Chain A
């Protein structure tokens, strides 16, 4: 007897999959129940499954996974290494970073270092030193001019563009501009010139060293403190160019001096407080006329 849907429990399953034999199928289609099965099957096939947003679900899962540390470890190992490296390098850079004090034209600044040493920084100058572990190596870098009052202790050193000054509890002034000058006001300092066989020169109170055009000149001075610390610049037989250079340190001006003889010399001083008074007290004695340009920061000199 031929199998049918009543006697074979896989019959309808095979029919739905189109796997009945020709013979079975023809016989089945003749039965009264066939039409009911067929319609039910066709109707079921009209149904639709749910709509599923895979990308949204992936986003949800990824967000949940970010809260578990394992994922971070696995996927961002290299990132972590990179971040750690950056942190180490930047911490190193931070620990090795410098603190810099800078003054502009006409400005002075007093800096107290970790060992109690005091530095008066003159106009248009800068002083820098290591932010951390400075006491292990008490070195500072100076450009421009500064007056140093150093607390007793070992190893204080000032580096300049022309050489270094080693110190043992003392007071001194360093000027590193167009001309270079170290003046010792108290105690003892040693100046070592850059290059030039690292020759060193020891200075005691009242001694100064001048470095002009590569030649060193030692001399004696009498003042107790540099005049700039009292807000005064003083000159003794200095050429006009030096006077103008000094004026430009304390006042934001430029000079147009092509029309005058720059070889003339000046002996005297000017005060850092007022430009008009400073100009009057320096240029007028030298017989130089001057006028301010419209821009107000250029001063034109004439005979």
Chain B
């Protein structure tokens, strides 16, 4: 006999979905809009809606529901267009690059990198950061965004090309 599907209306199942998907969904929206507060608001509203619809959303399809609903809410949120991506990003570690690689100071380079990422189109930036910062595979990103792996490869290529177009001149060949 197939195991009965857990109900999202049960608090423990709902909490499990929240703990599994709140953070990745928030990062997904954050990489689109660059505003953490806005991203958290969007994802929280999606989870509030999920509870209200708990009886009609399948537990196993909840992940897809959450990402899709987050994206829809984000697209409906006109305010995002005005927000400049302000990654609260920190450099994980000092690199062993030798300064001769750069034509400018490394700190300056990193600052320029952040700015360059901010100028990427949303559809490229979200995919690029999910892959590079969140270490998600293209297959996982495909699940989140609803794109094909092929489309993701294209967006990744385009993003990297654009970053090189902006930053290439700062790196010695």
**A interface residues with partner B (beta carbon < 8 Å):** 5, 8-14, 16-17, 32-33, 35-37, 39-52, 54, 57-58, 60-61, 64-65, 68, 70-71, 74-75
Chain A contact residues, majority secondary structure: helix
In the complex, chain A residues whose CB is within 8 Å of the CB of B164: 33, 36-37, 40
Bound-state CA distance A37–B23 (Å) is 29
Min CB–CB distance B42 → chain A (angstroms): 12
Bound-state CA distance A46–B90 (Å) is 8
Min CB–CB distance B171 → chain A (angstroms): 5
11 other contacts beyond A17-B138, A50-B36, with CB at 8 A cut-off? A5-B157, A5-B161, A13-B154, A36-B173, A44-B128, A44-B163, A50-B88, A52-B27, A54-B22, A61-B48, A64-B44
Pairwise interchain contact B101-A39, C-beta atoms closer than 8 A: yes
Pairwise interchain contact A9-B11, C-beta atoms closer than 8 A: no
Number of A-B residue pairs at CB separation under 8 A: 142
Bound-state CA distance A5–B137 (Å) is 20
| Docked complex: B136-173 residues within 8 A CB-CB of A | 137-138, 150, 152-158, 160-161, 163-164, 167-168, 171, 173
Bound-state CA distance A217–B160 (Å) is 116
Bound-state CA distance A236–B158 (Å) is 121
Pairwise interchain contact B113-A43, C-beta atoms closer than 8 A: yes
Bound-state CA distance A75–B130 (Å) is 36
Q: Which residue of B lies closest to A35 (CB)?
A: B173
B65 at the interface (CB under 8 A from A): no
B58 at the interface (CB under 8 A from A): no
Q: Which residue of B lies closest to A58 (CB)?
A: B18
Q: Which residue of B lies closest to A68 (CB)?
A: B52
Bound-state CA distance A42–B171 (Å) is 13
Take A50-B30, A65-B48 as given contacts and tell me if A13 and B18 are in contact as well, using a CB distance cutoff of 8 Å: no
Bound-state CA distance A174–B36 (Å) is 83
Pairwise interchain contact B44-A60, C-beta atoms closer than 8 A: yes
Question: Could you give 14 example pairs across A and B, Cβ below 8 Å?
Answer: A10-B150, A13-B155, A16-B132, A17-B138, A17-B156, A33-B173, A36-B171, A39-B171, A42-B97, A43-B95, A44-B117, A47-B89, A57-B40, A58-B15
